Chains A and B, each alone.
Chain A
Amino acid sequence: MQKFIPKRLSGVDLFLRLFQIAAVALILIAIFNTASEARYTASQWATLLFAGLAQGSIYALIALGYTLVYGILLMINFAHGEVYMAGAFSTVFLAAYFARTGFLNEQPWLAILIMILFAAAISTIVAVLLERIAYRPLRNAPRLIPLITAIGASFALQYTFRGLYGAEFRAYPEVAILRGNMNLFGFQVPVVQPFVFITALLLMGALYWYVERTKAGKAMRAVSEDKDVAKLMGVDIDKVIVTTFMLGGALAGAAGVFNGLFRPQGVFFLMGFFPGIKAFTAAVLGGIGNIPGAMIGGLLLGVIEALGPNLILEGLGIPSANQLKDAIAFIVLVMILIFRPQGIFGERLAEKKA
């Protein structure tokens, strides 16, 4: 074994460097191939790009929940995808009720606002219960233990909601006012996509303001910097942690409604798993613990996923490229963790937490 790897970490470094070069070269070749084949029109690329941005802003909202909790507790809330599912799944019934009574099309903005608030409330309750039951008693336990609890909580939540609402797929009703296309930079874009994108950006801006400009936000930043010192300064740690979970939960709930407006079908009890993993990837991509990082990371991941199969995988001559779409997010995650664990914006937290 010793002969296998001649010198301690330098062998690893060399291998990783070669890996990096190969990956970049493959991506460039693929893009070149796709470009030279010119199978797709500009408007087709634009369709993918705009959908990717809308999807990315949903990832970003969920990613903020991971990043906030990570910033404070240095733990990955593995069950955050389920917090998102809880809001989205519960609100589908409210939305259907609004559609049945006609309220949704008479007062669309008010109806959507109520739906967002309702989803945020449900997700917040789930997030706070999660913290109270599954995480708080374990705050001083070895690192592995809360992570395992989180995995358990993830399954418990999925199947609890399945028990409550059943296993069928549900769909959000269509909102008349968000139907149809609009002209954006000369391309036809479904109205709902810029709507989701802009509203999500507004929410993220509000969060940023809260964390940077209010007193409660200051307390959060203090706890994230140093828990013990913050405590000495009179910050109520438990309260800050609960606030953090509430904020993350509320944003995830809102993301659930945006998802329902953007892509109405497929609301069911497992809908949170993949978005959860992908949002986590987005948070790592932007630099976990970093709020603007999560936003940029989310948008970037949305776009990479939307363009990746056609731009890169087809360029490599892979048949049924779209089948490998989920692999893209994971590969991005592995690449980031290998080559730039601190993400685009973050400090090197991977070291600090160990």
Chain B
Amino acid sequence: MSKRFSTLLAVLLVSSLLLTACGGGAADGAGAADGGDAMECTDEIGCVEVASGDSIHLAYMLTVSGATAFLGEDSLGGIQVALANRGQVLGHDVELTGEDSGCSAEGGQTAATAVTADDSVVAIIGTNCSGAATAGLPTVSEAGLLMCSPSNTAPALTDPDQTWLPGYFRTAHNDLFQGRVAAEFAYNELGAMTAATIHDGSPYADQLQQVFAATFAELGGTVTFQGAVNVGDTDMRPVLTSVAADSPDVLYFPIFEPEGPFIVSQATEIDGLENTVLMGADGLLADSFPENSGENVVGMFLSGPYVTGAEYDAFLADWESQIGGVPPSGFHAFAYDCTNMILDAVEAVAQQGSDGSLLIGRQALRDAMASTTGYAGLTGSLACNEYGDCATGEALAVFEITQAELDGNWPPAAVYTP
């Protein structure tokens, strides 16, 4: 960069600043005057105004790139189907924009600042990963927005003593539910007396195995070993050998691919695991899992979301026609429910002006969402509590992988529901 050029740049930047200082104020004043005509905003944390002919603006914060993109695409599809089926809301189109939040705290925070920079956003659907939500939530909550997550499962997010903040909702199951269901199945249905767990260092897997172990011990079983592998490990024999020293009845490993398949296939080599039943969670509930794991996968159990019924079949048909193929993961129905609950809340609280414009109070919207009870969603009956947990743990099940799944049948049949 030549000095001349950089001087020019500096002068331009400074003059642009001065212009903004004058111009910005004027524009703000004009905006306020427009809004004042029709309706009065009495909401304590502000309102969104949707002018006649404008669309209602929803935003997503999902992980749409990188290794976890399948989660984001799954949720995004759910939202899109919901919007397409719903059509107009109060005479306005619904517009969806979004940001990639990735599966990290940094990504969540940056996405949150990007989404909240646009004050026309009414509500957010996201995030996929709990870490992204934890870091993004302060920004979202401060901006007065409402955020509904289809796949956050961390208990801390809906715990007011931990990271809960006003405006947060989720239709996904709290890990406390899924870990409990898995432990109850192992103890009551399989009759297991001893269990071991393995996590992979992700907050999700760690939390789930902790809940599993605590519940299993509370029911009267013994937890013989709690270990971990790393994402990227390929040789699971050492950890499996540690497990095998006590030959537990059940080995619960709520982890992902490819570490999950490694455990399944290498378990056959280890002395002492012959009678151990393998159990995974929704991280492995993907159609590639049986094929990648090989023969030992037959007889394994997976816990995960259980969505069924005629409405769900209709949803899958819509997915097929609107997006194509089948959903890549298990959270699309939760995203569908999030979207519809938000739009229901918008319909409930929006003030309509004579020209068709809308005024949506942000606190009113949160209150309407929080008071949802008995909502008949794809994922069962939803009722939000005051800290944003809308799922009740009903739509969970344990699935059994049989030879049919290894031969390509998917999804597997549910063998246990709480």
Which A positions have Cβ atoms within 8 angstroms of B? Answer: 39-41, 43-44, 47-48, 51, 55, 167-169, 171, 174, 190, 263-266, 268, 270, 273-274, 305-310, 314, 319-323, 325-326
The reply to whether B270 and A47 contact each other, CB–CB distance below 8 Å, is: yes
The reply to whether B237 and A169 contact each other, CB–CB distance below 8 Å, is: no
Q: Which residues of A are found within 8 Å of B269, using beta-carbon distances?
A: 47, 51, 190
A59→B286 CA distance, assembly (Å) = 31
A171→B265 CA distance, assembly (Å) = 12
Please tell me which one of the listed residues B230, B244, B262, B294 contacts residue A266 in the complex, with CB atoms under 8 A apart: B262
A314→B234 CA distance, assembly (Å) = 20
The reply to whether B294 and A40 contact each other, CB–CB distance below 8 Å, is: no
The reply to whether B235 and A169 contact each other, CB–CB distance below 8 Å, is: no
A333→B229 CA distance, assembly (Å) = 21
A264→B258 CA distance, assembly (Å) = 10
Q: Which residues of A are found within 8 Å of B294, using beta-carbon distances?
A: 174, 264
Q: Which residues of B are found within 8 Å of A51, using beta-carbon distances?
A: 235, 237, 269
Q: Which residues of B are found within 8 Å of A305, using beta-carbon distances?
A: 235
Chain B residue nearest to A42 in the complex (CB): B271
The reply to whether B69 and A167 contact each other, CB–CB distance below 8 Å, is: yes
**Is B288's CB within 8 Å of the partner chain A?**
yes
The reply to whether B258 and A40 contact each other, CB–CB distance below 8 Å, is: no
Q: Which residues of B are found within 8 Å of A44, using beta-carbon distances?
A: 241, 244-245, 270-272
A47→B267 CA distance, assembly (Å) = 11
Interface of A, helix, strand, loop or mixed by DSSP: helix
- Interchain nearest-CB distance for B311 vs A (Å): 30
Most buried by A among B67, B238, B257, B259: B238
Q: Residue-by-residue, is B224-259 near A (CB-CB < 8 Å gives 1, otherwise 0)?
A: 001111101111011101101100000000000111
The reply to whether A171 and B271 contact each other, CB–CB distance below 8 Å, is: no
**Cβ-closest 3 pairs across A and B:** A266-B258, A322-B239, A320-B228
- Interchain nearest-CB distance for A84 vs B (Å): 13
A134→B207 CA distance, assembly (Å) = 45
A240→B261 CA distance, assembly (Å) = 43
The reply to whether A265 and B293 contact each other, CB–CB distance below 8 Å, is: yes
A-B contact count (CB 8 A): 103
A305→B235 CA distance, assembly (Å) = 9
The reply to whether B271 and A322 contact each other, CB–CB distance below 8 Å, is: no
The reply to whether B262 and A323 contact each other, CB–CB distance below 8 Å, is: no
A40→B241 CA distance, assembly (Å) = 8
Q: Which residues of B are found within 8 Å of A270, using beta-carbon distances?
A: 232
The reply to whether B67 and A167 contact each other, CB–CB distance below 8 Å, is: yes
Known contacts A44-B271, A264-B294, A320-B226; is-contact A169 B257 (Cβ 8 Å): yes
Known contacts A266-B258, A309-B238, A325-B230; is-contact A171 B292 (Cβ 8 Å): yes
The reply to whether A169 and B292 contact each other, CB–CB distance below 8 Å, is: yes
A270→B233 CA distance, assembly (Å) = 12
Task: Give 9 pairs: A residue, B residue, CB < 8 Å, sorted on A.
Answer: A47-B241, A47-B271, A265-B234, A265-B262, A309-B242, A314-B242, A319-B226, A325-B233, A326-B230
Q: Which residues of B are found within 8 Å of A321, using beta-carbon distances?
A: 227, 238, 242
**Is B160's CB within 8 Å of the partner chain A?**
no
Chain A residue nearest to B291 in the complex (CB): A171
Q: Which residues of A are found within 8 Å of B411, using beta-carbon distances?
A: none
**Is B91's CB within 8 Å of the partner chain A?**
no
Chain A residue nearest to B272 in the complex (CB): A44
Q: Which residues of A are found within 8 Å of B238, using beta-carbon distances?
A: 48, 306-310, 321-322, 325
A263→B262 CA distance, assembly (Å) = 8
Q: Which residues of A are found within 8 Å of B242, using beta-carbon distances?
A: 309-310, 314, 321-322
Q: Which residues of A are found within 8 Å of B203, using beta-carbon distances?
A: none
Chain B residue nearest to A320 in the complex (CB): B228
- Interchain nearest-CB distance for B416 vs A (Å): 27
- Interchain nearest-CB distance for B224 vs A (Å): 11
The reply to whether B245 and A309 contact each other, CB–CB distance below 8 Å, is: no
The reply to whether A264 and B265 contact each other, CB–CB distance below 8 Å, is: yes
The A-contacting residues of B in range 263-296, CB under 8 angstroms, are: 265-266, 269-272, 288, 291-294
The reply to whether A309 and B239 contact each other, CB–CB distance below 8 Å, is: yes
12 new A-B contacts, CB < 8 A, other than A40-B241, A44-B245, A326-B232, are A41-B271, A44-B271, A47-B270, A51-B269, A171-B292, A263-B266, A266-B259, A274-B232, A305-B235, A308-B238, A321-B238, A321-B242
A174→B233 CA distance, assembly (Å) = 20
Q: Which residues of B are found within 8 Å of A265, using beta-carbon distances?
A: 234, 257-258, 261-262, 265, 292-293
The reply to whether B258 and A169 contact each other, CB–CB distance below 8 Å, is: yes
Chain B residue nearest to A322 in the complex (CB): B239
**Is B201's CB within 8 Å of the partner chain A?**
yes
Known contacts A171-B292, A306-B235, A323-B201; is-contact A48 B241 (Cβ 8 Å): yes
A210→B234 CA distance, assembly (Å) = 32
The reply to whether B261 and A322 contact each other, CB–CB distance below 8 Å, is: no
A25→B270 CA distance, assembly (Å) = 31
Q: Which residues of B are found within 8 Å of A309, using beta-carbon distances?
A: 238-239, 242
A254→B319 CA distance, assembly (Å) = 43
A266→B262 CA distance, assembly (Å) = 8
A264→B266 CA distance, assembly (Å) = 11
The reply to whether B237 and A40 contact each other, CB–CB distance below 8 Å, is: no
The reply to whether A266 and B234 contact each other, CB–CB distance below 8 Å, is: yes
- Interchain nearest-CB distance for B151 vs A (Å): 19
Q: Which residues of B are found within 8 Å of A41, using beta-carbon distances?
A: 271-272
The reply to whether A55 and B235 contact each other, CB–CB distance below 8 Å, is: yes
Q: Which residues of B are found within 8 Å of A47, using beta-carbon distances?
A: 237, 241, 269-271
Most buried by B among A47, A167, A265, A319: A265
Q: Which residues of B are found within 8 Å of A314, using beta-carbon distances?
A: 242
The reply to whether A322 and B232 contact each other, CB–CB distance below 8 Å, is: no
The reply to whether B262 and A322 contact each other, CB–CB distance below 8 Å, is: no
Most buried by B among A264, A273, A305: A264
Q: Which residues of A are found within 8 Å of B237, using beta-carbon distances?
A: 47-48, 51, 306
Known contacts A48-B237, A55-B235, A266-B234; is-contact A323 B261 (Cβ 8 Å): no
Chain A residue nearest to B257 in the complex (CB): A169
Chain B residue nearest to A311 in the complex (CB): B238
A322→B234 CA distance, assembly (Å) = 12
A74→B233 CA distance, assembly (Å) = 31
- Interchain nearest-CB distance for A95 vs B (Å): 14
- Interchain nearest-CB distance for B190 vs A (Å): 25
A320→B243 CA distance, assembly (Å) = 11
The reply to whether B227 and A322 contact each other, CB–CB distance below 8 Å, is: yes
Chain A residue nearest to B69 in the complex (CB): A167
A171→B201 CA distance, assembly (Å) = 23
Q: Which residues of A are found within 8 Å of B241, using beta-carbon distances?
A: 40, 44, 47-48, 310
A190→B269 CA distance, assembly (Å) = 7
